[in-house]
Structure 1
Amino acid sequence: MNKNDMTETLIKPFERIANLYSQLEKTTDNYGTDTPLYPSEIHAIAEINDHPKVNLTDLAQHLGVTKGTATKIVQKLVKKNMVYKQFAPNSENKIEILLTTQGRVAAENHQEYVEYMDRQLLSMYKDVPDDALKYFISVSKKTEEFLNQLIKRRQ
């Protein structure tokens, strides 16, 4: 097998993994509640859990999204009874976002899910030699930079 064939053999699984991740981002899970939550919603719940009384601007920054996107996510979570908003003490216009009891249940179950995923992935790579892991990290960073460049060109 020549270098081009080997590279193609390596690239194809990355494409399939990216497609699978994209599919996963479109699915829901209840995280111990009876309310289906999308990944963007549970990630917001996790950030609110990690930063109690966060405001919309800071939440958007933690999530890496615009304030408008964070606002829409919070609106959905309010409707799903996962979060509530209140005025910050001594403020007439600053809003804090907090988890409801159901939101805390989802956050706890999400943390267990994250730990499960980490254990599974770590077990997959535990036998890979350190030098190979360092090389994979390097290639991953280069791939990420390349994909970010393509995204910037299209915007």
Structure 2
Amino acid sequence: MMEQRKEMLKSFFRLSRKFLEAMKQPNKFGTDRLLYSSEIHTLEMIGKHPGITVTELADRQGISKSALPKIIHKLIQKDLVYRYQETGNKKNILLELTDKGRIAVQHHFKFHETFDSGIMKKINSLTPKEYLFLSDILQDLEQYIDHMEQQE
């Protein structure tokens, strides 16, 4: 039984690595330029909140404000985002998607519909009891990892 549990742990780590690898791969998302995970997720957040400020964007993404200017600059160069100043408040820089940026976000949603559908098919096949059991395990693992990160 102990050997089976070790194999399950190895399987979990393999799955985690494969998932991270799949999500790290750049994709064009219907545009002419490769977009990395940080870029497409930044576009997605700007698309959900047109006129968002850099500070709000950093807060919503859970990243530092200093990490965003480089990403935003690349998105502007790729003609996916434009920035403008708020009328009457030149301090605030607001961000919105260009038409090309909206296309990328739409393709990203379609990508996730396809990618997630196979996983959802398996999850939907679970009985309510199996679902609750798996959900509890995943939450416990997430809390454990959060706890381990705090220890570093």
1:52 aligned to which of 25, 50, 53: 50
Q: Secondary structure at the match of 1:93?
A: strand
Q: Which residue of 2 aligns with 1:115?
A: 113
Question: Which has the larger displacement, 15-24 or 47-56?
Answer: 15-24
Q: Which residue of 1 aligns with 2:10?
A: 12
Residues of 1 paired with 2:106 and 2:80: CA distance?
A: 13
The structural deviation recorded for 1:101 is: 1.4
Q: Which residue of 2 aligns with 1:32?
A: 30
Q: Secondary structure at the match of 2:89?
A: coil
* Letter aligned with residue 93 of structure 1: K
* Letter aligned with residue 136 of structure 1: L
Q: Which residue of 2 aligns with 1:81?
A: 79
The structural deviation recorded for 1:120 is: 2.0
Identity among equivalent positions (%) equals 25
Q: Which residue of 2 aligns with 1:142?
A: 140
Residues of 2 paired with 1:118 and 1:28: CA distance?
A: 17
The structure carrying a bigger strand percent of its residues is 2
Question: Which has the larger displacement, 46-55 or 18-27?
Answer: 18-27
Q: Secondary structure at the match of 2:95?
A: strand
The structural deviation recorded for 1:70 is: 2.1
TM-score scaled by length of structure 1: 0.91
Residues of 2 paired with 1:119 and 1:133: CA distance?
A: 17
Structure 1 portions without partners, runs of 5+: none
Structure 2 portions without partners, runs of 5+: none
CA RMSD after TM alignment: 1.3
Deviations 1:61-82 (A, max 9, x none): 1111111112222122112211
Residues of 1 paired with 2:143 and 2:57: CA distance?
A: 25
Q: Secondary structure at the match of 1:29?
A: coil
The structural deviation recorded for 1:9 is: 2.6
